[in-house]
Every structure is written in C-alpha cells, then in structure tokens.
C-alpha cells in the first residue's frame, strides 16, 4: 500500500449483504460542536490561542452563549466516539451503497436544554440512532471551534457528558436490547493506556504488540490492535505480526483541518468491518475516510466521495 501511489482495488460487492439497523454500537461523550469565524478580540477576551485545544474553565463560562449571539455559527454533532459512528453511518449510507438509516446506535449523556435539542437534530440528520440519557444537573456538552483565517482554537466543555448513569439508562430493558442487537462495538480508549498498563515503552509497535497479548476472556476471535499516528503509518498488531500501513498521500495545500481525522479513520474502518472485509480493506477504508475529512472543515464530508 504505497503512500504516493495507492493501488487500485476492485469495487466492493456490498450489495450481496445488506446491513440491518443498529448493527454498530458506540458509547462516549456527546458534544455539540459550535463553529464560527471569530475576530482576534474574541480570542483575547477568553485567553485563547490559535491552533490550540483546551478544556473550558471558569473564565470561559460565557464563551459559548457569546459565540452564538455575536457570530454566525454552524452546529454539528460531535465528540470523538459520536464522530466515529457518524462517519461509519455516512460511509455506509452515502459513500458505499444506500443502506438503511440508523445502522449505527449511539449512547451518551446530554442536558435538557436548547443545545441538547440541537444535538438531537444533528444526530438525526446524520442518520445515527442516538439514544441520549437526558438530565438537568449539567448542560449539554459543547465544543467551540473559533476560526481565524486558517487557524482554529477549540474549547471543549464536557459538562453533561460526564453525567452518564448506567443504572438510569444503559440498564433499561429497551436500551440494553439495542446493545444486544449490535454486532460491532466501539468505545474510545484513553491516550495513557500504555502507561497505565505498565508497558514501560514508548515504541508504538512494541505497545501494539503488548496490548495484543493482554489476557482475553473471549478466545474465539483473536484481538487486533490498531494505532493511528496522524500523518505517520498506521500500526496494526495481530497474533502473528505487527504491520505498518502508510497513510494516503496528500498535498499540504489540500489539508483544511486535521481535527477529526482519527475519528474518521475509526468510522471508515468500522464501515468495512461490518461487511466482514479483510483487515487490509478495513485499514484502507479508514485511511480513505480520514483523507476525505481533512480536506474539509470540522468532521464533515462531501455528499458523493468515490471509495471503490
């Protein structure tokens, strides 16, 4: 799989196996992305830096409402895991073949407020079957994308995303039935995984190898570890070997926004995994989705990409 000369592949025969609804399940922190072109005075007022991403604190309390009232904003369903299932759904419905809506299910926590209502609308527009746990203790999580020229400053306020209650949502019979209905599950892991496991190495291939060999309850299927590294090779560890897959080549001038590239890779990967495609095809689908996403602002995509 050459980075500068992608090898042509035969068009996938997806028509032979139509997918059912709710076959993919994702669970994570849902955020409403609020994107707007702002001025430098707005950045200075809230102490924001260009090309930076931070968690909101007390001084950012009024940022989100002011962003909405002062600038022209665009809303998008966001959050890492929700982005991934959204890309998987779009990959299946728009990019590959007209599959049913709501192939992907998503669980997370939001507030009972206007931003929560908008987030539900945006998830519906993406054809994701989102079942949110709604509560009134914290507002809906938001991520402000403050754009100045080619730069953006991201400010995330997790808020309600941290308030999920398993006993009040996941354990409900009608919700657990959706979990049992799925065949593929995705939940994002923390970046500190290797350190917490005591691997005592920073070599990405060695980390992948150690993670693949961790004890496993279900021994019917082998564990596969996939690590993305931005513009560097994607590392895949199986029981037999560790392989590096070069990402697709792209000109620097064609890159609009790298935020969401990793989420898009997961979505593209999962879209092929659902069709029981070989591992190499799952990787190729992931690389393709990421390559498309970084050509657009935010985790957004064109109507008719040409994945074959």
CA 205 remoteness from chain centre = 23
35 DSSP β-pair partners: 74, 145
- Reply yes or no on whether 276 is catalytic: no
Q: Which of 150, 263, 276, 306 is catalytic?
A: 263
Q: What CA–CA distance (Å, rounded) separates 146 from 104?
A: 29
Q: Position of tokens 């754009």?
A: 147
Rounded Cα distance between 223 and 212, Å, is 6
User: Catalytic residue numbers?
Assistant: 263
């Amino acid at each position: 799989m050459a980075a500068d000369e992608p090898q042509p592949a035969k068009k996938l025969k997806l028509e032979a196996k139509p997918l059912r609804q709710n076959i993919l399940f994702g669970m994570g922190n849902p955020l409403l992305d609020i994107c707007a072109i702002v001025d430098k005075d707005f950045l200075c007022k809230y102490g924001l830096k260009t090309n930076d991403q931070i968690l909101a604190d007390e001084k950012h309390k009024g940022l989100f409402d002011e962003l909405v009232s002062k600038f022209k904003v665009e809303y998008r369903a966001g959050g890492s895991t929700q982005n991934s299932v959204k890309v998987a759904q779009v990959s299946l419905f728009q990019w590959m073949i007209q599959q049913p809506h709501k192939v992907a299910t998503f669980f997370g926590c939001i507030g009972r407020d206007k931003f929560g209502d908008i987030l539900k609308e945006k998830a519906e527009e993406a054809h994701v079957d989102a079942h949110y746990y709604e509560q009134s203790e914290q507002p809906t999580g938001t991520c402000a994308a403050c754009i100045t020229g080619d730069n953006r400053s991201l400010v995330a306020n997790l808020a309600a995303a941290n308030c999920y209650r398993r006993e009040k949502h996941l354990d409900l019979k009608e919700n657990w039935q959706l979990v049992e209905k799925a065949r593929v599950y995705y939940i994002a892991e923390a970046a500190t995984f290797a350190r917490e496991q005591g691997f005592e190495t920073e070599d990405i291939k060695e980390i992948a190898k150690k993670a693949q060999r961790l004890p496993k309850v279900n021994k019917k299927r082998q564990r596969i570890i996939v690590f993305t590294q931005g513009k560097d090779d994607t590392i895949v560890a199986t029981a037999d070997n560790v392989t590096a897959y070069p990402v697709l080549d792209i000109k620097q001038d064609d890159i609009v926004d790298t935020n969401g590239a990793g989420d898009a890779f997961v979505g593209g990967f999962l879209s092929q995994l659902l069709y029981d495609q070989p591992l190499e095809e799952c990787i190729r689908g992931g690389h393709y989705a990421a390559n498309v996403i970084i050509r657009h602002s935010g985790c957004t995509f064109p109507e008719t990409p040409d994945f074959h």
